[in-house]
Amino acid sequence: MKTKVLFVVFLFFIIWGCQENNDTVFLQQTGTVIDYSGSGNCGFVVELDDGNNIIPINYPEGFEFAQGQKVWVEYTEMPDVIMLCEKGIACEINRIEQLGCAPYVDLYFSNYDSLARDPVYIHSVNIDGDCLHIKLSYSGGCEEHDIDLARMHPWCATPPLPPPTFEIRHNSHGDMCEALITREFRFDLSPLKEEGAKTFTVNALLTNNEVYHETFDYNW
């Protein structure tokens, strides 16, 4: 009799566990990837368009997050997972798709100096579809840093115009900490396609006081 009771209890927990799995709620939403590396034990956070934030714990292999990405996600919340980062709730992402990249900033002769030029270390810069993928590092860890891709419009708009020129602008906000922070960014290049531009250059002030300069061919 005791053996039968134990078997029934065991069977109950198996069925209950299966029902728990079948009751998993998959949520779908669009949002923007924000990289909080070096700030409050955080990394990538997806700021959803409905106002909520999620922190990817598990996600499809091969997907690369980057600052400013526009994404669509199908996910399940993991409320029992305690995160040191307090900028969102832990989640497991079942599916994720990149919808777009962050826009660049237009600078003109009158406001060339409106964005800071603090130095960076460039790991790689390459074209990924209609996006410019940038991987870089800087010293910090005590303040949030701003990284922008600025298009430097020429002071004279008389044709023939030079190829589009971009600068990677970094604002450290006076951060004196020396931890090495590495981040990845994706910026939207589709406006160049609409203009018919086939080449462009990217510049950046480097940590050794030299200037990074590279020309890219933009084929579509």
Domains and their CATH numbers in the chain: 26-100 (2.40.50.500), 105-217 (2.60.40.2370)
pLDDT given at position 10: 41
Residues 6+ apart with CB under 8 A from 58: 92, 93
Cα–Cα distance measured from residue 2 to residue 67, given in angstroms and rounded to the nearest whole number: 60
| Closest to 183 in 3D by CA, of 37, 41, 54 | 37
For residue range 107-148, what is the model confidence (pLDDT) as tens digits?
Answer: 998 999 999 999 999 999 999 889 999 999 999 988 889 999
Q: How far apart are CA 170 and CA 146, in angstroms?
A: 6
Give the integer Cα–Cα distance in Å for 172 and 140. Answer: 8
pLDDT in tens, 25-70: 889 999 999 998 877 788 999 999 999 999 999 999 989 899 999 9
Predicted structure pTM score:
0.77
Q: Who's near 173: CB < 8 A, 6+ residues apart?
A: 143, 144, 145, 146
